[in-house]
Structure 1
Amino acid sequence: MDAGFKAELIEWGVDWDEILDRFMGNEDLIAKFMFKFLNDQSMNDLTRYLGEGNVSEAFKAVHTLKGVGANLGLKGFITPVCELTEILRAGSMDGYEEKYNQIKPKYDALIAILQKYNT
């Protein structure tokens, strides 16, 4: 794995020790799965369904994002993702904007890092 890529992921908020343990010390495997995140549609779905006011589909999307984020050690946005999951799980949209506005810039920054190193 490129040292710059690893450093940027850690700076963004990837829990490196956790993910290194999860992937049995295989940094190339970590990179492979990080790049697969570029194809994950859960954030796009979340954005769309929140815009439509569709709580149940937005919940499914954020719950997927939460799972993927947890598996990849994406601590840089996992707290607001978890909080939004609980808001939507309750069938509410009250306060979703604040959580979404915490998630989106962190998500965009992660995607930029992944695109930069995806060769």
Structure 2
Amino acid sequence: MEKSLAENNISQAFQHAHTLKGLAGTLDLTTLSNILIPMTEQLRNGETESIQDLFNHLKIEYKHICELIAEHSA
């Protein structure tokens, strides 16, 4: 998604966001879902004004989840 956003490929960024939203929902990762739901809708509509802010927040939450998984698998 990061590469798609950097290249302003909105349709591909939407596909990535939509896929991640489904995965987050399936795994009950509420914090990610709460970011991805508005992000997906904005990308679906071609709205990119606040996408970078949402994406930055998504990266922070994703990193946090990865850290929690690493702590519990050690």
Whether these two folds match at TM > 0.5 is yes
The structure with higher relative contact order (CA 8 Å, sep 6+) is 1
1:91: which partner in 2? 46
* Deviation, structure 1 residue 87: 0.7
Matched position secondary structure for 2:24: helix
1:67: which partner in 2? 22
TM-score (norm 1): 0.57
Matched position secondary structure for 1:78: helix
* Deviation, structure 1 residue 85: 0.3
Counterpart mapping for 1:15-94 below 5 A: 46-94=1-49
Query: 74-83 vs 63-72, which deviates more?
Result: 74-83
Whether the 8 Å contact between 1:77 and 1:102 is mirrored in structure 2 is: no
One-letter amino acid matched to 2:64: A
After superposition, the CA RMSD in angstroms is: 1.3
- The superposition leaves residues 25-61 of structure 1 with CA deviations (integer Å, 9 ceiling, x where unpaired) of xxxxxxxxxxxxxxxxxxxxx1111111100000000
Aligned sequence identity (%)? 28
* Deviation, structure 1 residue 101: 1.8
Match among 49, 55, 74 for residue 100 of structure 1: 55
How many residues were matched structurally?
74
One-letter amino acid matched to 1:53: N
What stretches of structure 2 of length at least 5 have no aligned partner?
none
What stretches of structure 1 of length at least 5 have no aligned partner?
1-45
